[in-house]
A and B are shown apart, each in its own frame.
Chain A
């Protein structure tokens, strides 16, 4: 708690950083935490679709998941599925971050 207080004081001392007009002291911290949650969440998805689905668990997925067309599931994830998921991850990131920025008054 102490260090958080200190951090807030630091922030209010530094006027330059308070670029937004109507911003209370907790906004940057909340924004940063929410941003971190989005980042970590999406990185977990990223790890699951590539490393877990296509490499670590692929034999199990090949055997026990339905085929995509005629391709075993794990193989398809490695060659096509993961790339499609990456694009979706980036779209989600752009949308979520835009909403978050607007909520905290950072939209330009």
Chain B
């Protein structure tokens, strides 16, 4: 059976499963639509949250980031798991006790202000919308590569399926579908890793192989030393050392952690369980399920690093493995023969006098390989590029950071069904995140905007109708932008969403819960200054041509959210000194959310 047929079968089966589950558990009331009736078991909720959390980007590109960055990649590993500690210990038990369906609900009530609620709604919609566009785009990319169909029908198929079970099934449908999706993802991620670990280190647990010995070439050498020596020989820095400065590493990790704890679509997942005690247990399960994949990622990254170098460096192009040529066709790998010897050479910065290792000159318009309109081939049959070639260094191999996980089973010569499973896993990752985001988006519009700001007299039924219409409309918008990504601006801003959440939602929620005297003026001023500072810094250095030499304390835009958070705290504290304290009933409410029992059922209406 050929690869395409197998891919079709695996993905077809997984789709049938998702739709079947969604149909059996469709929502009939706003309560079921928003929070699955508040009765999901902690383990199921843990799996669903884990699937929701790990997007296509995490699933596909994290191992690649680790493979390229080595130690530097740890910022994502720690940032995206450590955030759950903050989330669980400081946020969700209290927000769950508060007992409303959304995060803007809490901000609006706690800071007794429609302005604050409105700002929170806008932030939530902005964060979710930028995310979901990326997901739809990801679905399209996977589909178009798999089946050789153009991007547009790929995105449309994905959107149709997401709407079927997110729009109709609501939180209840999504939650049970995500449980199935998590299982697909976990198998798709770990099975190829185990296969390669056995081949490379003779140890069937990838995490142990990672710290064990490399045995593939007969004699046992410590695996990490092997990666280091390969890296250094080709002019890269030591795999275990990394190249980011300590302060940058610190700030980026902190921004990712606090951002995680402030993302509305993650917080809302914990409103689906029964009570505060169940929230804590559910959070343990969530992190444990996430850890299964995050602990495997460093092993996959290091394995694929070794495989990539061994299989491609100093390899004649004409005898290069078939998968290399396949990735070349889809534009995810490229080769230009600088020294005209017919061999692929892969070198790092250490091999060039200028300290760069670009294959071609990168400009804002051309960060990826560009191809002529007609298919042109070089003398060895390679695809020719139209980019200006950078001849100041000897590196000839370009590849996109996100192909590692896709290329991994090919490089390790895994059986075909494993590759098909991996494809199904990628699609599961994109669909589960898109569905979760779509729900938060539709809830924000129907509940926070229509019900609480525009027309408080909506009945349950009307609100549900608005939710479904909102889901449909936002999906249409996301699909449109998924097909036509709007300039590079939005795509690049997504990467900074964590910094924005860390400087706005996280400190405001934290102070709202633990500091009952914080007034609305303090909170709003803090939120505005925090996000304004962070956004300004990012825009200046990312889009207006600020030079890295001018970075504040050497902190890159990805890590500035940490400073933005401190700005938020400080401004809130100062403004609070000059504003009247919150009214008594608000202070009482803050007291009451600290008591773990008596959490009301979360209801859509109130």
- Which residues of A are interface residues toward B (Cβ below 8 A)? 10-11, 14, 16-17, 19-20, 28, 31-32, 35, 39, 42-43, 46, 50-51, 54-56, 62, 68-72, 75-76, 78-80, 82-84, 86-87, 89-91, 93-94, 97-98, 101, 106-108
Contact = CB atoms under 8 A, between A and B. Distances in A.
Nearest to B207: A80
- Interface of chain B, helix or strand or loop or mixed? helix
Contacts of B77: 78-79, 82-83
Nearest to B257: A50
A105 B140 CA distance: 53
A70 B595 contact: no
A62 B211 CA distance: 14
Interface in B434-480: none
Nearest to A79: B298
7 contacts: A39-B90, A54-B78, A55-B246, A70-B211, A71-B224, A87-B291, A90-B84
A51 B254 contact: yes
Contacts of B254: 51
A107 B278 CA distance: 11
A27 to B, nearest CB: 9
A72 B240 contact: yes
A23 to B, nearest CB: 10
- Interface of chain A, helix or strand or loop or mixed? helix
Contacts of A83: 77-78, 81, 291, 294-295
Interface of B: 66, 71, 74, 77-78, 81-82, 84-86, 88-90, 93, 207-208, 210-213, 222-225, 240, 246, 249-250, 253-254, 257, 275, 277, 280-281, 283-284, 287-288, 291, 294-295, 298, 588, 591-592, 594-598
A76 B223 CA distance: 13
Contact of A82 (B66, B82, B207): B82
Contact of A17 (B86, B249, B588): B588
Contacts of B287: 86-87, 90
A70 B223 contact: yes
Given A69-B208, A79-B74, A94 B281 contact: yes
Contacts of B85: 42-43, 46, 86, 89-90
Given A46-B85, A93-B280, A69 B211 contact: yes
Given A28-B595, A80-B207, A80-B211, 7 more contacts: A39-B90, A55-B246, A69-B210, A69-B212, A79-B66, A89-B89, A97-B277
